[in-house]
Amino acid sequence: MIIQGTNQHADVREKADVVIVGTGSGGGTLGAYLADRGWNVVMLEKGGFFRAEDFTQREDEAMAAFNGRRGLDSTIDNAIFLNYAEAVGGCTVHYWGDSFRTPPDRLERWRTGHGLDWMTPAELDPHWDAIEGELGIHITEERLLNENNRLVRAGCEALGIEGAPPPTARVDCIGCGWTQFGCPYNAKTSQLITTIPRVSLAGGRVYSDARVDHIVVENGRAIAVEGTLRNRGTGDERAKIRVDADVVVLAGGALGTADILLRNFPDDRVIGRRFYINPHYFVWADFGREIDNATGIPCAYVVHGFRHVRLDDRARYAGGGYIMLTNHQSPGIAAAMLSSTGADHMEHMKRWHHLGSLMSVIDEENPGRIFLGEDGIRRTEYNVKGVDQHKAVDYLKQASRIFLAAGAKEVWIPDVFGTVVRTEADIASKIGLRSVQPNAQFCAGSHLMGTAPIGTDPADSFAGPTGEAHRVKGLYVADGAALPGSVSVDPSLTIMGVARWIAAGIHERSGRAGS
Ligand SMILES: Cc1cc2nc3c(=O)[nH]c(=O)nc-3n(C[C@H](O)[C@H](O)[C@H](O)COP(=O)(O)OP(=O)(O)OC[C@H]3O[C@@H](n4cnc5c(N)ncnc54)[C@H](O)[C@@H]3O)c2cc1C
Ligand code: SF4
């Protein structure tokens, strides 16, 4: 059952086997797993409850309704836009649906670097098999590649660069194009239409507009969470809610989980200290003619050829360390990304129908941090620095090359210098570190991870390998916050797989019947 907190006026007291804070990739997956096995599940979600008919596909309405901080959240220096959803279903309401299993080399890094022995394909594959079946994940059909995707593919093929259509979480998608504002056709298999209904069907209660602030700990064990039910429009408190449970799971996303934990454990030295975002830089290409970049799905072709870092013979960075996603953006967001102004900006926007676009997913080595300001409000600090800046520059160059090979008339690096590239010589002479300084061009982060990581060493992790907090029994993390680092590809299927593995452990250790 969905209970919309915005309509509640009386305080609520609930008792459950498990209470889950957050309903996105991690929370939804874990909740459905336990609900299917007979657990009495309560889920609390800070954001609102929206259905297909609420998704108008208008960017202004969608961002105001379910983007965190109404689509205006950024790092403290305003250099990086933080893109995340607050809604029943979490980020999967507006995510693009690319669904990659964690690359084995990344699992290996987490095994050796963080003592997570269980992070093997053999251990996780059964969970991914199940999730892929439940979400209908399959390789993107050719019909969903728009012209931008086909041009990027042609550019990659001409240059011998590896790329492919990604596995996607969709069933019977009509390729309308505006995935980022919620799917009005129920084709994108978000948590909203997959795991959350399963929790409801099994008798679970899912509260929207329910913000958790406090974890109740007694004798070293988490026994309940407390929060408030809020008016969706104004944010004003309507009533209080408390849920007592045998198990408390935090799945509020890297921002939300860190926010709660920082409030409850202010002396902890790990929470919020490793904040990964996979910086996204954008490159636009003008093909001098109308191309179709607004239909299909935002990303129907992924460039994998640069995922691994290359070193030169003196072990210095020589390239790579990112993947590229084909990208399309609605006019308003595109306008905000382009750095031109006045008549130039109008001229750029008139050419919106001519533009192809690529976006980086930088596998960063230097995370940022999350902390509470003196006013008690969450702040994020993140600088693209060191080798990560060089990765960004390498990406801008390689993306430009791909577009030129695909026949683009000019490539726009949307920096404050108005950099335009028409030839290989331009790539060498015009693209450099100045373009990736803070605030020199639009940069975004939508793969938020690592702020309450799991691991064996309490000095370096908030929770142990099972997901249970080192210092509080019965308190788990099972979302992007729990990941030890960047995944190097889009993270949702990693988060779901890890959450399902953590759920299986909770179930097994509880000694309950069923499997
Ligand atoms: C536009 C966009 C496109 C993306 N596309 C892809 C893609 O194609 N493929 C991919 O793999 N990844 C993609 N991602 C990233 C992916 O969606 C996220 O990494 C993933 O869904 C995060 O899962 P999570 O469980 O950590 O958190 P979320 O899915 O963010 O869920 C956390 C939920 O917890 C709630 N919450 C937070 N604090 C509280 C609180 N105090 N009380 C109650 N509830 C709270 C939040 O409101 C939110 O709904 C995309 C992200 C964005 C923004
Ligand atoms: S592109 Fe497909 S999944 Fe996305 S909103 Fe349109 S129909 Fe839904």
The tens digit of pLDDT for each residue in 459-470 reads 999 999 999 999
Confidence of residue 513 (pLDDT cuts 50, 70, 90): low
Q: Does the beta carbon of 183 sit less than 6 angstroms from any atom of ligand 2?
A: yes
Q: Tell which atom from ligand 1 comes closest to the C-alpha of 90.
A: 49
Q: Share the mean pLDDT of the chain.
A: 96
Residue with more model confidence, 222 or 298: 222
Ligand nearest to the CA of 225: 1
Going from the Cα of 177 to the center of ligand 2, the distance in angstroms, rounded, reads 6
Q: What local confidence, expressed as pLDDT, does residue 152 receive?
A: 98
Does the structure show a pLDDT above 80 at 514?
no
Q: What local confidence, expressed as pLDDT, does residue 32 receive?
A: 98
In the CATH scheme, what is the code of domain 2-136+187-275+448-510?
3.50.50.60
Does the structure show a pLDDT above 90 at 512?
no
The domain ranges of the chain are 2-136+187-275+448-510, 142-170+278-445
Distance in angstroms (rounded) separating the CA atoms of residues 391 and 394? 5
232-277: pLDDT as tens digits: 999 999 999 999 999 999 999 999 999 999 999 999 999 999 999 9
Ligand 1 binding site (Cβ under 6 Å of any ligand atom): 21-27, 44-47, 83-87, 90-92, 94-98, 180, 210-212, 251-253, 256, 260, 446-447, 479-480, 490-493, 495
- Strands 205-208, 41-44: parallel, antiparallel or unpaired by DSSP? parallel
Distance in angstroms (rounded) separating the CA atoms of residues 262 and 271? 7
422-442: pLDDT as tens digits: 999 999 999 999 999 999 999
Does the structure show a pLDDT above 80 at 515?
no
Q: Tell which atom from ligand 2 comes closest to the C-alpha of 174.
A: 7
356-377: pLDDT as tens digits: 999 999 999 999 999 999 999 9
The DSSP string of 391-424 is HHHHHHHHHHHHHHHTT-SEEE--BTT--EE-SH
Confidence of residue 329 (pLDDT cuts 50, 70, 90): confident
19-40: pLDDT as tens digits: 999 999 999 999 999 999 999 9
Q: Does the beta carbon of 285 sit less than 6 angstroms from any atom of ligand 2?
A: no
Whether 178 contacts 109, CB under 8 Å:
no
Q: Taking residues 196-216, what's their average pLDDT? A: 98
Q: What local confidence, expressed as pLDDT, does residue 339 receive?
A: 84
Note if the pTM is more than 0.85: yes
Residue whose Cα lies nearest atom 4 of ligand 2: it is 179
Helix H or strand E encompassing 337: helix 331-337
DSSP label of 67 = B
Confidence of residue 505 (pLDDT cuts 50, 70, 90): very high
Distance in angstroms (rounded) separating the CA atoms of residues 399 and 392? 10
Going from the Cα of 88 to the center of ligand 1, the distance in angstroms, rounded, reads 10
Most distant CA pair in the chain, distance:
68
Long-range residue pairs from 464-468, CB within 8 A, at least 24 positions apart, any chain:
465/115, 465/116, 465/117, 465/118, 466/502, 466/505, 466/509, 467/498, 467/502, 467/505, 467/506
CATH class for the region spanning 142-170+278-445:
alpha beta
Q: Tell which atom from ligand 2 comes closest to the C-alpha of 295.
A: 1
Whether 237 contacts 211, CB under 8 Å:
no
